[in-house]
A and B are shown apart, each in its own frame.
Chain A
Amino acid sequence: MKVKTSITAGFFVIGLLVSGLALADRTLLNVSYDPTRELYQDFNKAFTTYWKDKTGETVTVQQSHGGAGKQARAVIDGLDADVLTLAITYDIDKIADKAKLLPKDWQSRLPNNSIPYTSTIVFLVRKDNPKGIKDWDDLVKEGVSVITPNPKTSGGARYNYLAAWAFAEKKYGGKDAAKEFIKKLYKNVPVLDSGARGATTTFLQRGIGDVLLAWENEAFLAIKELGEGQVEIIAPPSSILAETPVAVVDTVVNKHGTKDLAEAYLNYLYTPVGQKLAAKHYYRPSEPKYADAADLARFPKLELFTIKDKFGSWDAVQKEHFDDNGVFDQIYVP
């Protein structure tokens, strides 16, 4: 008799636990790239408050950060990301292509080609810019040591590389000249880290190199962390427009039952609150009118060109430059 009671009690407890799980608040996993940590910490807070006010539901947003390529591969290999906020459209294309987790036309589903904010590449130099670095061609001078990650493994590094390439192609005319320029530039690179944060650490903490090719927001962040006067930002006259896309992962949200939540989350990035936060964290908002004027004034004015204008598409870029035996491999052949 006693045994029976305790078994019943046991089942009752298990039943409670199961129903508790079923009623648990929903979570959203946002898989992102390295330098967005601080932005999404703030944004998630804003979003959960907004969602609570609107629907009464408490939601938790989890974050995963890492090199963009690594993150995309993790999603392909089965990391259950509800939303992606990555550095390069190519990586989301690959997720659509290889794992078929979202449709190929994902980019047309959100405003502004699914790009709520953009960034660019600038130079971070030592105090008072002792090597006098002003433009891309200063990077290939003898005795200048440049820190940039490996473009085969880092999204940011691909933008660095392509910005330098586009500069050289325009200034010196033609691909051969650009290749020669890139070769000289990477001769000046003493360490190839695998991700943007690693390169920032090498430059700031280890004190290696005269100039770091950095995400604009990462450069601002470095100055904020280190305090004024240690390093300074130099904006070259021209650079690349880094279009950092976002997307809902259909297969995963359908499985989790989080489709409405995931869509609301990404759409919230485009609202005045989201845009203001992006600008606050040094991302260039797609709707500048919503951002604080003071935040916008911090961005240096420079001529920005897009991947589409200069290179056609990411697929073409990847094939020509970063795949095996592509230009990046060729410049290292001794």
Chain B
Amino acid sequence: MRQSYIMPGFRPTLGFTLFYLGLVVLIPLSTLVFTSLQLNWAQYLAIITHDRVMASFRVSFVTALLASCVASVFGFIIAWVLVRYPFPGKRVLDALIDLPFALPTAVAGIVLATLYQPSGIIGKLLMDSFGVQVAYKPLGIVVALIFISLPFVVRTVEPVLQEFDSSMEEAASSLGASRLQVFVSIIFPNIFPALLTGFALAFARGVGEYGSVIFIAGNLPYVSEIVPLMIITKLEQYDIPGATAIALTMLVISFFLLLVINLLQHWVRKRSGQL
């Protein structure tokens, strides 16, 4: 039996979706797979498990994780302020949030490196008062990634917060819940799935980011080399299969992590009765 849908146009739209995904996503990605198929399993493992490559994976994923955690906390606060309180200049502030989207990432990297270098305005302050060097250390990568990933969190949490039905809050208050209780057991669980999405987007962006990081990282082998730099370095040596092997591995890990986050999100929604 053919399944029929109430909405017309299922076949053409699905056809278009598959065609578009194929053209824009799957064909380029499959080229990656085919190029790395030039390697046999042992060669592939040797490239991936090389100490220096492993170190770069560690740097990339740890810094992206830290940065997206920080961006999630502060992105949430910013979204909260933008949605909940009216204040003069709010629209300007709102527009400012999107700037990291629009700014070429290389520009962001150069600006951040200038500010956070040991003799820069912020860098000198941090150096003198805490003895912390940011630029040209792994910490610099985290700073760049926070900058890049902030709008992802704000822009995913903001609409959900806006749609949030305040009658639930009012009901809770009238039943005697404290402000903290309202936040912890009413607001946060409802926002959490959106926050997870924002976190996932920020993380995915952070893992793949090259332009801004390269100017602030210092790029020292085993210390502050990110995976995209390893890929570029391999390409510079005309080692294309090696570069694609690393790229493919990164793709698989990222896909797996995003899948886990999506499942987690699904589970949270289900538990809190949103599905």
Contacts and interface: CB of A to CB of B under 8 A. Distances in A.
Interface of A: 67, 69-70, 73, 76, 94, 98, 150, 152-153, 189-194, 198, 205-208, 322-325, 329, 332-334
A76 B136 CA distance: 32
Nearest to A329: B52
Contact of B238 (A94, A153, A189): A94
A94 B236 CA distance: 11
Given A152-B236, A322-B237, A194 B214 contact: yes
Residue of B51, B215, B238 most packed against chain A (CB within 10 A): B238
B219 A69 contact: no
Interface string B178-220: 0000000000000000000000000000000000001100111
A73 B117 contact: no
Interface string B208-246: 000000110011111000000100111111110010000
* Most chain A beta carbons < 10 A, residue from B118, B136, B214, B237: B237
Given A150-B219, A205-B114, A206-B113, 15 more contacts: A73-B236, A73-B238, A94-B238, A150-B233, A153-B232, A153-B233, A190-B136, A192-B221, A194-B214, A194-B229, A206-B117, A207-B119, A324-B239, A332-B52, A332-B220
Interface of B: 50-52, 113-114, 117-120, 136, 214-215, 218-222, 229, 232-239, 242
Given A323-B237, A324-B237, A333 B51 contact: yes
B119 A192 contact: no
A210 B51 CA distance: 31
Contact of A191 (B50, B120, B218): B218
A328 to B, nearest CB: 9
Nearest to B118: A208
Contacts of B237: 69, 152, 322-324
Nearest to B117: A206
Interface majority SS (helix, strand, loop, mixed), chain A: loop
Given A73-B238, A98-B238, A193 B222 contact: no
Contacts of B215: 198
Contacts of B113: 206
A189 B136 CA distance: 11
Nearest to A318: B237
Contacts of B51: 333
B219 A193 contact: yes
A323 B50 CA distance: 14
Nearest to A153: B236
Nearest to A154: B236
Contacts of A69: 236-237
A207 B136 contact: no
Given A150-B219, A191-B136, A332-B221, A206 B114 contact: yes
Contacts of A191: 136, 218-220
B117 A207 contact: yes
Given A193-B219, A324-B242, A334-B222, A208 B136 contact: yes
